[in-house]
Homo-oligomer: A and B are copies of this chain.
Amino acid sequence: MPFQPLCENSETDMINHPLHVSPDKLRDFCIAILCSLGVSMGDATTTADVLVEADLQGIDSHGVARLSYYVHNLASGRVVAKPKIQKIWETPTTATLDGGGGLGPPVSVKAMKLAITKAKKYFVGMVAVRNSNHYGIAGYYSALAIHEGMIGFSATNSLTLVVPTFGSKIMLGTNPLSLAVPGGKRGNFILDMATSTVPIGKVEVFDRQGKEMPRGWATDEFGQVTVNPSMVLHNIYREQYCGGGLLPLGGEGEETSGHKGYGLAVAVEIISALLAGAAYSDLVYPRDAEGKPLPAGIGHFFGALRIDGFRDPVAFAQDLDDLLDRLRRSPKATGRDRIFTAGEKESEIRLQRSRNGIPLHAKVHAELKKLAQELEIPAPWLFPTMEV
């Protein structure tokens, strides 16, 4: 049965690459790579699971495509392979963890689990994390609460890529947030969204395709909307950054309410970085005088909330089923045959990819081959000539 693409991402994959890999194979490969760089087996397993889960859900930008970035940061010392994770603050319902400069996923899973433990006892638990790194998809952590029948929340600040409304310099990350709500027959509601209009990866796709971007995605160095993706990328990645970047959700200025996306991005910055005492705004991902990368220092926030803190969870699940159903069954716009709810597409792609394997984009495939060779990790399935 051929792989049926459900979204833009996977469609591009299919065109560019037919190699499908089983999630287990991919997970084991990530574990081997990370362990070879000194990461403990436990931390490597957690990190691999977060990456492969992104691929399973079709969020390819946050999957194994990030592995070489993680490897690069471990090699450069920006990420500590064996960090000392410490609980530096605690109350019955809240806590702050210091990630010790290690990989994002291990400390994030610890933090989310601590929030859940606190919620089990006190109905709500909230944990902030500082001194951490890129944590992958925000929805991985919020969804951990779903397994316990709770509502989960997660947010993180990140590398600066987004200009404030009326600004011309990137001062905020794409700062994603995620809310995960356990449902009944109609499935869960899992919102996982960057607070920018699009991730930088989408600008890169348009650049590769030589296409103009829609208005509202990014600005030039003068803070004016541009439809030219290569100019935006050039400005961001050149030696001396000179201005321009992604726009907040809602686009430019106030006309289409870009100030709301900007406000959301700052809200995420405050709860994920400032509450934890993490680095924030353009202080994240610092470098020393020689340009050597120092620990990123970013922060995360995790929350868990028991539904039976407010009402009977069975009645709640029935209402959620009905709400999702009403939205999906409501009249469609001309030319559209389906209305989705958050997390629905991802859950369908997950089913397909669990069955048919994860399609590897040509570029990602090449990167993984390079990693396997450089770090001498046996992975015959990555090399077509060796493939059975």
Point out residues on A near B: beta carbons under 8 Å.
89, 91-96, 122-124, 126, 128, 151, 163-169, 171-172, 179, 181, 189, 191, 193, 197-198, 214-217, 219, 222-224, 243, 249-251, 255-257, 259-261, 263-264, 266-267, 269-271, 274-277, 280-282, 305-307, 309-311, 315-316, 319-320, 323, 326-327, 330-334, 336, 338-342
**CB distance B336 to A166 under 8 Å?**
yes
Contact for A281 among B217, B274, B327, CB less than 8 A: B327
Copies of the chain in the assembly: 2
Q: Which residue of B lies closest to A181 (CB)?
A: B270
Nearest-neighbour CB distance to chain B for A82, whole angstroms, equals 25
Q: Which residue of B lies closest to A170 (CB)?
A: B330
**CB distance B166 to A338 under 8 Å?**
yes
* Contact sample, A vs B, 5 pairs, CB 8 Å cutoff: A124-B126, A126-B305, A166-B333, A219-B333, A224-B334
Count chain B CB atoms within 10 A of each CB in A165, A261, A330, A341 and give the residue with the most: A330
**CB distance A249 to B255 under 8 Å?**
no
Q: Which residue of B lies closest to A219 (CB)?
A: B333
Residues of B within 8 A of A266 (CB): 189, 191, 323, 327, 341-342
Contact for A310 among B128, B167, B181, CB less than 8 A: B128
Residues of B within 8 A of A189 (CB): 266-267, 270
**CB distance B340 to A276 under 8 Å?**
no
Q: Which residue of B lies closest to A92 (CB)?
A: B122
**CB distance B255 to A224 under 8 Å?**
no
Contact for A339 among B165, B181, B261, B263, CB less than 8 A: B165
Tell me the bound Cα distance from A222 to B335 in angstroms. Answer: 9
Contact for A332 among B93, B223, B259, CB less than 8 A: B223
**CB distance A124 to B94 under 8 Å?**
yes
Tell me the bound Cα distance from A148 to B34 in angstroms. Answer: 46
**CB distance B334 to A168 under 8 Å?**
yes
Tell me the bound Cα distance from A271 to B309 in angstroms. Answer: 12
**CB distance B281 to A326 under 8 Å?**
yes
**CB distance B93 to A123 under 8 Å?**
yes
Tell me the bound Cα distance from A122 to B311 in angstroms. Answer: 20
Nearest-neighbour CB distance to chain B for A221, whole angstroms, equals 9
A171-B128 in contact given A166-B336, A319-B277, A338-B166 (Cβ < 8 Å): no
